[in-house]
Amino acid sequence: MAEVRAKKALGQHFLTDLNIARKIATSLSGGTPENPDKVLEVGCGMGVLTQYLLQRDDIVTYGAEIDSESVEYLHVHYPDFAERLTEGDFLKMDLEEAYGNRLKIIGNFPYNISSQIFFKVLENRDIVPECVGMIQREVAVRLAEPPGSKEYGILSVLLQAWYDIEYLFTVGEKVFNPPPKVKSAVIRLTRNKVEKLDCDETLFIKVVKASFGQRRKMLRNSLKAAFGNFGGNEHRFFTMRAEQLSVADFVELTNWVAENRV
Q: Is residue 40 part of a domain?
A: yes
Co-location of 22 and 145 in the same domain: yes
Co-location of 68 and 152 in the same domain: yes
Q: Is residue 196 part of a domain?
A: no
**Domains contained in the chain, number:** 2
| Residue 16: count of CB within 10 angstroms of its CB | 14
- Rounded to an integer, what distance in angstroms lies between the CA atom of residue 30 and that of residue 93? 23
Co-location of 170 and 220 in the same domain: no
Co-location of 24 and 78 in the same domain: yes
For residue 220, the domain's CATH number is: 1.10.8.100
Kind of pairing between the strands at 85-87 and 163-171: unpaired
**CA 185, 143, 70, 128 torsion: positive or negative?**
positive
* Last residue of one domain, picked from the residues 191, 215, 245: 191
* Last residue of one domain, picked from the residues 149, 173, 191: 191
| This prediction's pTM | 0.93
Which pLDDT tens digit goes with each residue over 23-40?
A: 999 999 999 999 999 999
Which pLDDT tens digit goes with each residue over 222-258?
A: 999 999 999 999 999 999 999 999 999 999 999 999 9
Question: Would you say residue 11 has pLDDT above 70?
Answer: no
- Rounded to an integer, what distance in angstroms lies between the CA atom of residue 45 and that of residue 15? 9
Q: Which domain holds residue 133?
A: 8-191
Question: Would you say residue 201 has pLDDT above 90?
Answer: yes
Co-location of 217 and 139 in the same domain: no
Which pLDDT tens digit goes with each residue over 144-197?
A: 999 998 889 999 999 999 999 999 999 999 988 777 888 999 999 999 999 999
Closest CA to 64 of 37, 38, 93: 93
Q: Which helix (H) or strand (E) holds 14?
A: strand 14-15
Q: Are 14 and 177 in contact (CB under 8 A)?
A: yes
Q: Are 130 and 104 in contact (CB under 8 A)?
A: yes
